Chain A
Amino acid sequence: MIVKLEQDLSRQDIEILIKYAKMNKDVERIMTILQSADTVVTCSMDGSEKLVNASDIYYIESVDKKTFVYCENVVYRTDLRLYQMADILSDSGFVQISKSCILNINVLDLIKPLLNSRMEATLKNGERLFITRKYLADIKEALQAGRKRL
């Protein structure tokens, strides 16, 4: 893969052009990463609002009808419901791993089976999350396809 960077002082925004011979998983994955870098979510912490980039989000969890956005070292709250977040982030590499949690597939480090027929995901920051068996096929599909609609 050849990566070219070109500075153009007249430009207001970043332009990315991907040239490919055939659409394949690699191209789709690059698109997913780029889309996640371009998607922002409005979150709040200590009463102040903040725009959080989708690529910085590790996972989103719904607890008692409140939605929490977990980044590497910081947790935000959002007024959006989990299904709304899933909709916004559907093209950014996020996949549902349980009824109450959606995960950024790009921060998934390892999955291991537990004794009680459950699974545990280890993220790149060392955090661990439970995975429900019925979503395992979606995770596999998301990793195989490069991107997956929720």
Chain B
Amino acid sequence: MRKMIVNIMATTGITLVILAVIALLFGASWLCITVVLECLGANILIHLGFLITHKFESRYAVLESALDIGYMLIIIIIFANIFDWFSSTPLWVLVIMTILVYASGLLLSIIRMREDIRIINQLINKRNNEVNS
């Protein structure tokens, strides 16, 4: 649960940074406070959905990523319709944002995974050394 809350906060932060960068590129100078909460809501729903989509395992990581991105896009389109995001942001920008947020999250996850692998290999070496000594 704690990990999930941390992940929701992290991806909400990434979403807002990417949103701010894209808004700047489009010449905007401010973000509505409500957008922050809408992003948080979308991220909560996305992470809750991941509890189901992550039950699917495939030999091909690309299929799992495609499922995650597809699900994220569905949530984003639903939120865009409810909160009228399309009036300020075209669909293709939302799609690019979704992919950028997913890629950023994946990158962070890979960095954490590599650190875990380093620790695991250290533990295995320690075990093997103890057995051999």
Chain A residues in the interface with B (C-beta under 8 A): 29, 98-100, 108-113, 116-119, 130, 132-134, 136-137, 139-140, 143-144
B contact face: mostly helix, strand, loop, or mixed: helix
Q: A134 vs B61: C-alpha distance in the bound complex, in angstroms?
A: 13
For the complex, is B4 an interface residue (Cβ under 8 Å from A)?
no
User: Which chain B positions have C-beta within 8 A of A139?
Assistant: 120
Given contacts A110-B124, A134-B54, whether A119 and B59 have CB atoms under 8 Å apart is no
Instruction: Give the nearest-CB partner of A137 in chain B.
Output: B116
Determine how close the nearest CB of chain B comes to the CB of A53; give it in whole angstroms: 18
Q: How close is A63's CB to chain B, nearest CB, in angstroms?
A: 12
Number of B residues whose C-beta is below 8 Å from A? 20
Which of A29, A99, A110, A130 is in CB contact (< 8 Å) with B121?
A110
Looking across the interface, which residue of chain A has its beta carbon closest to that of B125? A110
The chain B residues found within 8 Å of chain A, CB to CB, are: 54, 57, 59-62, 106, 109-110, 113-114, 116-117, 119-121, 123-124, 127-128
Chain A contact residues: over half helix, strand or loop, or mixed?
mixed
Decide: A140 and B119 in contact? CB cutoff 8 A. Answer: yes
Contacts A110-B121, A140-B123, A143-B127 known; 16 new A-B pairs at CB < 8 A: A98-B57, A100-B57, A110-B124, A111-B124, A112-B117, A113-B110, A116-B60, A117-B61, A117-B106, A117-B110, A117-B113, A133-B109, A136-B116, A140-B119, A140-B120, A144-B123
